[in-house]
């Protein structure tokens, strides 16, 4: 029995050092060299100040901004989770109805408007930084009105949504989407012109 314990402890020590220290350090250094922007969190700066990450959704409550997808965790990336409500859970149905009514009211849309699903359901992570192009377009009139845009600038705002629309990942996975933080920054730039 003693002959197996010593080699097992040696292997444990070697694997702990390799997989717990050497490998993580090597991968961190490699990622910093090959993908420096992504390895540092894909942070977005404005006037030299970091204002967010393009990978983590933020809460935008002001009517002058495009609103993000609902979050079950109030956009806190630490717990990162969804509501875990199933389709038969009454809370899910109630929240969808409330979110639909709020979206229609906020954006001055006709009653009965079909609201895009991404504005009704929280994402699984709770920090999804994207919305659908349809959800963004439905918010353009509200944003244009609040910012005092004329018809030409509202048209430019719609073009911004098109310009910031990303296709499916690797042209295969997911749906077209728009990064809300980037779009809001572009809307601020458009207003300053």
Do 47 and 58 meet the contact criterion of CB atoms below 8 Å apart? no
The per-residue pLDDT for range 42-97, each reduced to its tens digit, is 999 988 899 999 999 999 999 999 999 999 888 888 887 777 888 888 999 999 99
Domain ranges (residues) in the chain: 1-40, 42-192
Strands 43-46, 49-53: pairing kind: antiparallel
Round to whole Å and give the CA distance between 147 and 56: 25
Do 69 and 130 meet the contact criterion of CB atoms below 8 Å apart? yes
Q: Which residues pair with 165 in a beta bridge?
A: 178
The per-residue pLDDT for range 18-47, each reduced to its tens digit, is 999 999 999 999 999 999 999 998 999 988
Percent of the chain at pLDDT exceeding 70: 99
End-to-end CA distance of the chain: 79
Cross-sheet strand order for the sheet of 130-131: 130-131, 177-179, 165-166
The per-residue pLDDT for range 104-161, each reduced to its tens digit, is 999 999 999 999 999 999 888 888 999 999 999 999 999 999 999 999 999 999 999 9
pTM, 2 dp? 0.83
- Per-residue pLDDT band for 1 (boundaries 50, 70, 90) equals low
SS (H, E, C) 125-158: CCCCCEECHHHHHHHHHHHHHHHCCCHHHHHHHH
């Amino acid at each position: 029995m003693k002959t197996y314990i010593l080699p097992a402890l040696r292997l444990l020590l070697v694997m702990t050092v390799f997989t717990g220290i050497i490998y993580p350090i090597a991968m961190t250094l490699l990622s910093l060299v090959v993908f420096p922007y992504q390895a540092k969190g894909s942070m977005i700066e404005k006037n030299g100040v970091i204002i967010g990450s393009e990978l983590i959704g933020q809460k935008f409550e002001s009517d002058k901004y495009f609103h993000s997808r609902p979050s079950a965790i109030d956009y806190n990336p630490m717990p990162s989770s969804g509501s875990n409500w199933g389709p038969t859970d009454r809370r899910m149905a109630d929240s969808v109805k409330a979110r639909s009514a709020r979206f229609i009211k906020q954006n001055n849309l006709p009653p009965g408007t079909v609201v895009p699903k991404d504005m009704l359901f929280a994402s699984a992570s709770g920090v999804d930084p994207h919305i659908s192009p349809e959800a963004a377009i439905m918010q353009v009139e509200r944003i244009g009105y609040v910012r005092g845009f004329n018809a030409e600038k509202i048209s430019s705002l719609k073009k911004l949504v098109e310009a910031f629309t990303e296709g499916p990942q690797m042209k295969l996975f997911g749906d077209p989407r728009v990064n809300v933080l980037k779009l809001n920054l572009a809307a601020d730039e458009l207003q300053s012109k």
